[in-house]
Amino acid sequence: METKEAIDKLKSDLAEIKAQGQDTIPIDGLENYLSGLEKDASASFENRKLDYQRMLAGYDAQVKFDIELFKSVIEAGKEALNATLIINGGAVIAFLGFLGSMLSKGGAEALGLKLTVPLCSFGFGVLFAALGFGIRYLAQFCFARRQLKSWIKAGHGFNIASILMAVTSYVMFGYGVYNAYTAFVSHFTHR
């Protein structure tokens, strides 16, 4: 209980006693009354102290949760970019090996020509994944300079651009797979 609250309570109680027609208060009764007010005041202080500690603990838990969530989002983004780099890079290596082997044996130039589109698609998938990593770095750089609101805004923009690079890299992989499929089907059905 705050000092003002204690004084207001004392005034209110005195007004109530006066309204009952009493104009004196025994000293023992006043001492008991003040002891009760003192107990209420100390209990109120302890309650405020506990509420404050509870609020701090809740805030601390929320901050820790937010940090861990942010770390997991960063890690998931990194893994998504790694996956696009690996699948597109693996496809480029496999196609180059296949085309090299096929062309050294001769006789499949038409198929080799048709497979250049998927090869380029996989190559662009690698490029977009690499760009995604670079843009991801820029996003983290901006978030680290969070003192200015413009840095945070730029960080969010770079983050969105990095996500778009990853999605584009996946699309390029899908496009390459589809074109490889159509090249093989076209080549082997027209023989």
Burial of 162 (0-12, 13-18, 19+ CB in 10 A): buried
At residue 1, the 3 state secondary structure works out as coil
Confidence of residue 24 (pLDDT cuts 50, 70, 90): confident
At residue 2, the pLDDT reads 65
Rounded to whole angstroms, the maximal C-alpha distance in the chain is 121
> What would the two tokens of residue 11 be?
């005034």
At residue 186, the pLDDT reads 87
pLDDT tens-place string over residues 130-151: 999 999 999 988 888 878 889 8
Confidence of residue 125 (pLDDT cuts 50, 70, 90): very high
- Contact (CB, 8 A) for 114 and 186: yes
At residue 6, the pLDDT reads 73
pTM metric for this prediction = 0.66
- Give the contacts of 78 (CB within 8 A, at least 6 positions apart): 136
At residue 42, the pLDDT reads 66
DSSP 8-state code for residue 25: -
Q: How far is it, in rounded angstroms, from Cα 127 to Cα 133?
A: 10
Q: How far is it, in rounded angstroms, from Cα 85 to Cα 130?
A: 7
At residue 21, the pLDDT reads 81
Residue with tokens 């809740």: 58
